[in-house]
């Protein structure tokens, strides 16, 4: 008889767990609070009251734009195994992975001076190499850092690369990115471009609080992707997320036999006398009835703040590690999107734009640069030509007497976001965007506005976990001490570490592997990847591990024998690396 798994939460983690379980022969039921959408924060939405020309054609909105760095392995593996369509019980040969498009460039826009533009594939072409050379040659004009700051920051990045994982886990985990980069003693440009900008736009993190271990590891992964011409470093969907991924994924899961209950809110998890989960109470938000559901195994796949309310005191007694989730809730912040629907084609950048000096830590993507076949002519008023999707990462802080976004009404939020965009983009008399272009705009519905109570800060129904320093100790494992209860969410301990779709998918795989073990299943475990780093640094990391065990700080003063070894090692490494790249080019292979 098949074992039954109850999954609470139908976001990326819940759907990932369901995917792995259903193909391994389990009965799977998902209970999701959303009425219309799947995929949690990853979802796109139909913007209300924009189906003026066709009742089925709405403008697409989103919690925030999706992007998939090259180091993502878990989530893209799942996408490769998700067909784009199902017809007559036959799966399409094309997977959702084929819906990813490459972003060619990243742009850093500033309030003063020329924008910084660099390729996402540094050595992918001669044009990219020339662009990079120009950036380095004219670095003072582009960056405006003070003397010594370039080399200092480069040295800190190199230190990360050469540091052992033990030092990262035990020393850098307790140090903020601000402290690690010595930002207090540096210029405003250094702080804005290299310290604050990176952490704010990466995960809505405050550089003064964000863990160097987490942010540093991810920054290294991004750099390694950028310098490897065999890797697609930055990818976005070719259509709204629901169409490109989540709806096909949902259809596939249901077709395979997953029972997906929408509008179903979990209200309590019940523990029996044997210290196992016996049932879950589900509130049907449509009928207003409560039901008790039972299974053999239970996966809690909701964000930390929601998990904290569902985990009872009895459950915490059985597994004290669950108590620590309450501490993680304190580390949650806001990173939420606003879309502008424009009546003109706007060409800002063929990829992400980071507004480094913006008070609300903005980033944006011109969606229509990637949605080549997406027709806007029959949506809203028929005048929409471009969609500028903006992520707002700093909602809670007042910057230089600039009001916090969380205390503004929707009109002020729109006006101030647009003002920051104009101030960053319209430089030297060139007007790239203008307010007259705006036909419509949409703020993510997770932001609960209180226009009649301006003194009350708004609320965010779906906050984001921020990896603050020394927070790893509060993060639980996927497999709990309750024998049939598992966790799958981005706050769980994973190799990915950073709170992302990738971490959620990895956590789901770990939960499924726990179920496979506890059920004595013969099915193969879900694959788990580690973050991959170049072998070039392996000898130096080995040496640093020895120093760390002896209680010594990191040092670039290597012994002569290690220096001589590294000379030979670098030559060998570069020879085989360049040989591999040449073979890659000669064989006409495409970046993976």
Supply the pLDDT for residue 259: 98
Question: Which residues, 6 or more positions from 120, have their beta carbon under 8 angstroms from its beta carbon?
Answer: 102, 103, 104, 105, 106, 225, 226, 233, 234, 351
Supply the pLDDT for residue 582: 86
Supply the pLDDT for residue 447: 67
How far apart are the C-alpha atoms of 489 and 508, rounded to whole Å?
Answer: 7
Supply the pLDDT for residue 170: 96
Instruction: Write out residues in the chain with pLDDT < 70, as ranges.
Output: 200-205, 399-401, 406-407, 447-458
Q: Residue 30 region, left (φ>0) first, then alpha (ψ -120 to 50), else beta? A: beta
Of 531, 499, 506, nearest to 71 by C-alpha is 531
Beta bridge partners of 95: 83
Element (H, E) at 503: helix 501-518
Instruction: Reduce the secondary structure of 326-395 to three states and give it as a string.
Output: HHHHCCEECCEEEEEEECCCCCCCCCCEEECCCCCCEEEEEHHHCCCCCCCCCCCCCCCCEEEEEEECCC
How far apart are the C-alpha atoms of 474 and 110, rounded to whole Å?
Answer: 37
Percent of the chain topping pLDDT 70: 96
**Other CB atoms within 10 Å distance of the CB of residue 524:** 9
CATH numbers and ranges of domains, the chain? 4-49+71-99+241-331+468-518 (3.50.50.60), 50-70+101-120+234-240+335-462 (3.30.9), 121-232+532-586 (no CATH)
How far apart are the C-alpha atoms of 385 and 368, rounded to whole Å?
Answer: 8
Beta bridge partners of 340: 388, 441
Instruction: Report phi then psi at 456, rounded to 5.
Output: -90, 125
How far apart are the C-alpha atoms of 488 and 509, rounded to whole Å?
Answer: 8
What is the chain's percent helix, strand, coil content, to nearest 5?
40, 20, 40
Supply the pLDDT for residue 449: 57
Give the distance between the most distant pair of CA atoms in the chain.
75
Of 516, 345, 583, nearest to 3 by C-alpha is 516
Supply the pLDDT for residue 452: 43
Token code pair at residue 458:
């708004």
Supply the pLDDT for residue 464: 83
How far apart are the C-alpha atoms of 201 and 355, rounded to whole Å?
Answer: 9
Supply the pLDDT for residue 125: 87
Supply the pLDDT for residue 409: 77
pLDDT in tens, 473-500: 999 999 999 999 999 999 999 999 999 9
DSSP label of 561: H
The answer to whether 362 and 342 are in contact (CB under 8 A) is: no
Supply the pLDDT for residue 204: 58
Token code pair at residue 507:
């956590």
- Going through 426-546 in order, the beta strands assigned E by DSSP cover 438-443, 447-448, 459-460, 464-465, 485-487
How far apart are the C-alpha atoms of 589 and 507, rounded to whole Å?
Answer: 32
Supply the pLDDT for residue 455: 44
Instruction: Report phi then psi at 277, rounded to 5.
Output: -75, 130
Chain centre to alpha carbon of residue 266: 25
Of 310, 366, 273, nearest to 8 by C-alpha is 310
Residue 8 three-state SS: strand
């Amino acid at each position: 008889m098949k074992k039954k798994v109850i999954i609470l939460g139908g976001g990326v983690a819940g759907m990932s767990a369901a995917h792995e379980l259903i193909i391994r022969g389990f009965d799977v039921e998902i209970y999701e609070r959303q009425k219309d959408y799947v995929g949690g924060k990853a979802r796109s939405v139909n913007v209300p009251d924009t189906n003026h020309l066709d009742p089925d054609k709405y403008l697409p909105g989103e919690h925030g734009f999706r992007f998939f760095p090259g180091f993502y392995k878990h989530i893209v593996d799942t996408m490769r195994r998700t067909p784009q369509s199902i017809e007559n019980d036959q799966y399409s040969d094309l997977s959702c992975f084929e819906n990813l498009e490459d972003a060619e460039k990243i742009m850093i826009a500033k309030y003063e001076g020329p924008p910084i533009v660099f390729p996402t594939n540094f050595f992918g072409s001669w044009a990219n190499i020339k662009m990079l050379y120009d950036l380095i040659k004219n670095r003072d004009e582009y960056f405006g850092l003070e003397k010594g700051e370039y080399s200092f920051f480069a040295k800190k990045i190199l230190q990360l690369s050469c540091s052992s994982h033990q030092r990262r886990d035990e020393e850098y985990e307790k140090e903020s990115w601000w402290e690690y980069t010595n930002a207090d003693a540096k210029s405003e440009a250094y702080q804005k471009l290299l310290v604050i900008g990176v952490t704010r736009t990466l995960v809505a993190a405050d550089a003064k609080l964000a863990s160097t271990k987490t942010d540093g590891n991810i920054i290294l992964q991004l750099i390694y992707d950028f310098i490897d011409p065999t890797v697609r470093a930055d990818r976005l969907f070719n259509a709204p997320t629901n169409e490109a991924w989540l709806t096909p994924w949902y259809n596939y899961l249901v077709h395979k036999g997953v029972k997906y209950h929408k509008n179903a809110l979990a209200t309590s998890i019940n523990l029996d006398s044997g210290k196992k989960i016996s049932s879950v109470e589900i509130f049907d938000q449509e009928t207003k009835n409560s039901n008790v559901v039972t299974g053999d195994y239970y996966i809690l796949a909701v964000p930390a703040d929601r998990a904290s309310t569902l985990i009872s005191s009895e459950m915490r007694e059985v597994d004290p590690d669950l108590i620590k989730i309450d501490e993680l809730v304190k580390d949650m912040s806001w990173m939420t999107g606003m879309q502008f629907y424009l009546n003109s084609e706007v060409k800002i950048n063929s990829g992400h734009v980071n507004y480094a000096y913006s008070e609300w830590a903005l980033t944006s993507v011109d969606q229509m640069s990637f949605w080549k076949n997406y027709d806007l002519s029959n949506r809203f008023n028929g005048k929409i030509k471009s969609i500028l999707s903006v992520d707002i990462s700093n909602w809670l802080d007042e910057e230089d007497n600039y009001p916090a976004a969380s205390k503004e009404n929707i009109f002020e939020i729109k006006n101030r976001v647009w003002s920051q965009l104009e101030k960053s983009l319209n430089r030297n008399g060139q007007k790239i965007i203008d307010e007259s272009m705006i036909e419509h705009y949409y703020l993510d519905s997770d932001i609960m506005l209180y226009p009649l109570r301006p003194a009350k800060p708004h609320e965010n129904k779906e906050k984001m976990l921020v990896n603050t320093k020394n927070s790893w100790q509060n993060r639980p494992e996927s497999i709990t001490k309750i024998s049939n209860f598992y966790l799958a969410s981005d706050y769980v301990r994973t190799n990915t570490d950073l709170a992302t779709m990738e971490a959620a998918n990895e956590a789901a795989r770990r939960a499924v592997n726990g179920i496979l073990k506890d059920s004595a299943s013969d099915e193969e475990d879900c694959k788990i990847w580690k973050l991959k780093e170049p072998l070039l640094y392996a000898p130096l990391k080995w040496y640093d591990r020895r120093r760390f065990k002896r209680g010594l700080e990191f040092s670039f003063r290597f012994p002569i024998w290690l220096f001589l070894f590294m000379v030979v090692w670098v030559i060998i490494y570069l020879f085989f690396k360049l040989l591999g790249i040449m073979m890659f080019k000669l064989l006409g292979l495409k970046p993976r």
